[in-house]
């Protein structure tokens, strides 16, 4: 199975709008989808780290996936994270995502035990078999799972199970990324580290998945577009603003920076799920000041427009010294 038409572009690692007593905030889901459609994103990645998936029960995760897929149908494709420490439950979540209408499922490895290479291969082979020909992505995020995956594992799984079509890679080490880029051709390798988006897109990543794109989706769409058309100065300028956004939101840790940021920008999505903490009033005031600064900087970038840097650079007339 080759990667699908969905396997590239800008995917928002969407927050989970949730009220501690009422559950799913359906009106917030609708508002977010409208925001993302208007920005031109490629799709939604739900119930991952930004989506607090592991803080919900399997039943709650399924209900949320159903709500998002139903509301985005015909407008945005959805990838559902189905990782769970119990393989049987991961398979159940993956099959549910398939049957609900998601275009693919992503699976982070179990987190309780440090797994060896053969254990990781067996785990993903089991899940690939469990979903038939449905597309499955590895979700490599060793900062939370303590179980790094890698390009060699992806290639081996793709050779044995054609429905293993790529990976969402949230790593900052170039050694790990070299392994993925070496096998990226024909596979859907998504950048999950905001600070490395532009260089990794240049080197062969198919697209990106970002939690901070909840806040400024148009910025990430323009970063991807500028990269795709070879506009080096514009892509570098936007990447630097993304770095600033990472600083403003402390790398989305705690996650409350993203959820409170959305509230500041007009879309209340509820507090972080326990045991994650909320922000203090001082932190919220500082966040608002900083987000407005980023908002003004984004507006200036968008107003300037861009160009095809590679063509304009190499077509410039040369002047000879007399």
> For residue range 11-55, what is the model confidence (pLDDT) as tens digits?
999 999 999 888 999 999 999 999 999 999 999 999 999 999 999
C-alpha to C-alpha distance for 114 and 183, rounded to whole angstroms: 25
Q: pLDDT class for 312, splitting at 50, 70, 90?
A: very low
Does 322 have pLDDT greater than 80? no
Q: What percent of the chain has pLDDT over 70?
A: 93
pLDDT of residue 183: 96
Does 313 have pLDDT greater than 70? no
Q: pLDDT class for 307, splitting at 50, 70, 90?
A: low
pLDDT of residue 6: 82
User: What string of DSSP letters covers 207-240?
Assistant: EEEESGGGT-HHHHHHHHHHHHTT-HHHHHHHHH
Task: Enumerate the domain spans of the chain.
Answer: 9-229
pLDDT of residue 151: 98
pLDDT of residue 109: 98
pLDDT of residue 306: 65
Under DSSP, the state recorded for 156 is H
Tell me what the pLDDT averaged over the chain comes to: 93
> For residue range 97-109, what is the model confidence (pLDDT) as tens digits?
999 999 999 999 9
Phi-psi region of 319 (alpha: psi -120 to 50; beta: other; left: phi over 0): beta
Catalytic positions, please?
A: 139, 168
pLDDT of residue 7: 84
> For residue range 154-189, what is the model confidence (pLDDT) as tens digits?
999 999 999 999 999 999 999 999 999 999 999 999
pLDDT of residue 2: 45
Between the alpha carbon of residue 158 and those of residues 90, 104, 187, 242, the distances in Å are 19, 15, 9, 32
Q: pLDDT class for 318, splitting at 50, 70, 90?
A: very low
> For residue range 194-236, what is the model confidence (pLDDT) as tens digits?
999 999 999 999 999 999 999 999 999 999 999 999 999 999 9
Arch. (CATH architecture) of 9-229: Alpha-Beta Barrel (3.20)
C-alpha to C-alpha distance for 235 and 121, rounded to whole angstroms: 37
């Amino acid at each position: 199975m080759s990667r699908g038409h969905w396997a590239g572009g800008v995917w928002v690692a969407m927050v989970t709008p949730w009220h501690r007593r009422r559950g799913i905030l359906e009106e917030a889901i609708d508002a977010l989808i409208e925001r993302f459609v208007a920005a031109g994103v490629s799709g939604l990645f739900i119930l991952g780290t930004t989506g607090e998936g592991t803080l919900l029960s399997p039943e709650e995760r399924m209900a949320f996936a159903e709500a998002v897929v139903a509301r985005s149908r015909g407008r945005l494709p959805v990838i559902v994270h189905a990782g769970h420490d119990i393989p049987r439950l991961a398979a159940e979540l993956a099959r549910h995502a398939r049957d609900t209408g998601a275009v693919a499922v992503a699976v982070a490895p179990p987190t309780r035990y440090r797994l060896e290479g053969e254990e990781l291969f067996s785990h993903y082979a089991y899940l690939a078999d469990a979903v038939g020909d449905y597309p499955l992505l590895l979700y490599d995020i060793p900062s939370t799972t303590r179980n790094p995956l890698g390009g060699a594992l992806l290639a081996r799984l793709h050779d044995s199970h054609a429905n293993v079509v790529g990976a969402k890679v949230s790593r900052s080490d170039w050694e790990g990324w070299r392994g993925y880029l070496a096998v990226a051709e024909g596979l859907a390798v998504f950048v999950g580290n905001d600070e490395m988006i532009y260089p990794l897109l240049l080197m062969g990543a198919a697209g990106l998945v970002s939690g901070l794109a909840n806040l400024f989706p148009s910025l990430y769409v323009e970063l991807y577009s500028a990269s795709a058309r070879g506009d080096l100065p514009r892509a570098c300028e936007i990447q630097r603003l993304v770095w600033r956004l990472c600083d403003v939101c402390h790398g989305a840790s705690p996650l409350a920076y993203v959820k409170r940021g959305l509230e500041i920008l007009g879309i209340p999505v509820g507090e972080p799920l326990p045991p994650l903490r909320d922000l203090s009033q001082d932190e919220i005031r500082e966040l608002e000041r900083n987000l407005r600064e980023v908002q003004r900087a984004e507006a200036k970038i968008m107003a300037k427009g861009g160009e095809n840097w590679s063509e304009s650079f190499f077509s410039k007339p040369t002047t000879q010294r007399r």
